[in-house]
Every structure is written in structure tokens, then in C-alpha cells.
């Protein structure tokens, strides 16, 4: 899961794989604004074949939170 999330963050935000830690959040990446948050959500849905509810979308506010939510959707860690 880390590998695939790292790929998305590197594609969308140009973040290196090493920098893509669980603590990474919108505070650390200027481009991770509300518009790119939707791009990120759609990228995650595209990559993992899941669909998040509007409430879940708001909660995806760090790489760690994304991993936890994906695990809830049955994606292997």
C-alpha cells in the first residue's frame, strides 16, 4: 500500500518516496489544497478501486489517515 500511495503522491505533488511518511499532511505540501484534495481522492479511488463517501473524503487529511481508511475498505496494508 505504501508503494502505491507513494507513487500517487510523487505523481500529484512531486513528493519523494522517502518524504511520503504517515505524518505527511496538507500543512507540508502547498499544492495539497481543496482542489488537489479532490484530485488526490479520485487518484486513490482509481488506484485502489474503492469509492469514498463525502464524509470520508474530509477525513483523509494525512497519509496515515488515508492508509487507515483504505484498510477499512479492505485494502491490504
Q: Which residues bind other proteins (CB under 8 A)?
A: 7-8, 10-14, 35-36, 38-39, 42-43, 45-47, 51, 53-54, 57
Measured CA to CA, the distance from residue 64 to residue 53 in angstroms comes to 18
Nearer to other proteins, 14 or 64 (CB): 14
Q: Estimate to the nearest angstrom the gap between the alpha carbon of 27 and the chain centroid.
A: 14
Residue 1: CB minimum distance to other proteins, A:
15
Residue 43: CB minimum distance to other proteins, A:
4
Distance between start and end Cα atoms, the chain: 5
Amino acid at each position: 500500500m505504501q508503494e502505491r500511495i507513494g507513487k500517487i503522491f510523487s505523481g500529484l505533488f512531486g513528493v519523494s518516496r522517502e518524504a511520503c511518511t504517515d505524518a505527511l499532511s496538507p500543512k507540508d505540501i502547498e499544492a495539497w489544497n481543496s482542489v488537489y484534495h479532490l484530485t488526490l481522492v479520485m487518484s486513490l479511488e482509481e488506484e485502489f478501486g474503492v469509492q469514498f463517501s463525502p464524509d470520508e473524503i474530509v477525513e483523509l487529511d494525512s497519509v496515515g489517515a488515508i492508509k487507515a481508511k483504505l484498510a477499512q475498505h479492505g485494502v491490504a496494508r
